Amino acid sequence: MTTTPQITAASWLMVATLGLTWGGTFLVTELALEGLSPFWLAAGRIVFAAVLMVAIWAAMGLRLFITMPTRRHLTALATIGALSSAVPFILLAWGQQFVTSGFAGVSMASVALIVLPLAHFLVPGERLTWRKTLGFLIGFAGVCVLLGGQAFEATGTTMEPFGRAACIGAACCYGVSSILMRRLPAIDPIGLATMLLLIAAAIVLPAAWIVEGPPPLPDTRTLIILAFLGLIPTAAANFLRVLVIRSAGPVFMSLTNYQVPVWSVVLGALVLSEPLPGSLLWALVLILSGVGLSQYGAFRRLFSR
């Protein structure tokens, strides 16, 4: 796909929806982990989402590539499927055992900084500019302010360096998969979202069995939570992610990673009565300023219509 990114009001709405959805997922995941181990939780939500998307895809006629794909396109599709869900889910599930939650949050925010230089060289219309770079750096600083000192505190475990490497590796997976997804030829978005989940399921199921043994039998409450995780933050959100990347580009999509920690903190206060950090206001100022600066051109085009 070589057309320049088209950022519209719908693009902003989808990115805002993804930020809210993934920011709230942490709360639901904590509940799910009471009845499932981390790898089987990841496997369960991916498999549930894949089954749901296959049903939708079948009803839509099972279309995938609009034009005849080459072997290179099929290889890219398999790589995206691995890097967009399965591999980062596994890396995060393992790495978060040895790092602080703050470091995990910062590593996810770094996706935007990873995507920026890659898109400059690999995606038409995503040229690196001083305004865009400065905006993303300011937004990243806002995330660091929000998460506070715990973002860089050491846990003291001998495996911490490897845990940090796993979290950064997960961020790199998200960044690279976004670039590759944008470069695919004409493709049906429902078919693409479905294939990515099927590939992820094929990877994460055996990985969960090898690491954690046979799947446990969850109770009814856990199954309901798992169904929710598969439906909303996995199936629906994966489809929205495909739409945003394919239309507005991977750099714009990476703005989601600055929203997630903000929504996580806000929803934690609203739902779990957790105290709001005093740094929230300053963090919001920095994040919104960074977004506004990096997307100045998109804002100007949007409001000049």
| The dihedral formed by the CA atoms of 188, 189, 193 and 196, expressed in degrees to the nearest 10 | 50
φ and ψ at residue 187, rounded to 5 degrees: -150, 145
The whole model's pTM is what?
A: 0.88
CA distance 154 to 139: 24
CA distance 95 to 101: 10
φ and ψ at residue 125, rounded to 5 degrees: 85, 5
Residue with tokens 């199954």: 223
The tens digit of pLDDT for each residue in 159-194 reads 888 988 998 999 999 999 999 999 888 889 999 999
* Residue pair 89/212 in contact by the 8 Å Cβ criterion: no
The tens digit of pLDDT for each residue in 73-110 reads 899 999 999 999 889 988 888 887 788 777 887 888 88
Where do the domains of the chain lie? 9-303
Binning pLDDT at 50, 70 and 90, where does residue 303 land?
Answer: low
- Residue 89 is predicted with a pLDDT of 83
